[in-house]
Amino acid sequence: MTDSNSRAASAPFPVTEGREKGYQRAAVDVFLRRAKSSFDGEGAPLDSAGVRQASFPLVKGGYRISDVDAALARVEDAFAQRERAAAVARAGAGVWVDRARGEAQLILDHLARPKKKRFARSGPLTFGYRIDEVDHVAEKIVRFLRDGQTLTVEQVRSTAFRMQRGGYREEQVDALLDATIDVLLAVR
């Protein structure tokens, strides 16, 4: 067995092969050690939003993206459960529910804007998220928040949009998706 094969065999996640890119192994390992340390009450503080926003360089021979993302989802869930328990213990369940309800209302208010005008647009020569795809996901979020239709954290986490010139600005859409995940985690 070659040295790279033995390292891949002992890796905590499957490693990509050939031309396929994955998350840089060292970056993932460092982040997961930091997350564990923080969860154990040691080291720099980290919360569920920080886990959700983690990103890693893509490289050949990296960890397979889907496996790392699944692990990060579990880590985020653990942090979110702890945050909810601490908030309920500190202020009571009513305050927690009111906060989640307030966040949900802010999302609904934002998505009440007309289709194709829900978010700021990137410039005509720059790329943003495809407007029709974002509006489709926005309708799913509205149906969940307003009508109680099923929507899971995993569905929102795995949402991906193609790009288009003059599309919706990525950071605004991403912020709304993050807020939606916060609400979903709060009512889980």
> With contact defined as beta carbons under 8 Å apart, do 118 and 137 qualify?
no
Using alpha carbons, select from 125, 113, 84 the residue that is nearest to residue 173: 113
Q: Which amino acid, one-letter code, is at 106?
A: L
The burial class, CB within 10 Å (0-12 / 13-18 / 19+), for 96 is buried
The burial class, CB within 10 Å (0-12 / 13-18 / 19+), for 145 is buried
* Strand, coil or helix: 127: strand
Q: Residues with Cβ < 8 Å from 77, sequence gap 6 or more?
A: 48, 153, 185, 188
pTM of the model: 0.77
> For 111-159, how does the pLDDT look when each residue is reduced to its tens digit (9 = 90+)?
999 999 999 999 999 999 999 999 999 999 999 999 999 999 999 999 9
Return per-residue pLDDT of the chain as tens, 188 residues. 444 554 555 789 999 999 999 999 999 999 999 999 999 999 889 999 999 999 999 999 999 999 999 999 999 999 999 998 998 899 988 888 898 999 999 999 999 999 999 999 999 999 999 999 999 999 999 999 999 999 999 999 999 999 999 999 999 999 999 999 999 988 87
Helices (H), 53-169: 65-91, 93-111, 131-147, 153-157
* Strand, coil or helix: 121: strand
> What is the Cα–Cα distance from 94 to 40, expressed in whole angstroms?
28
Token code pair at residue 113: 């804007």
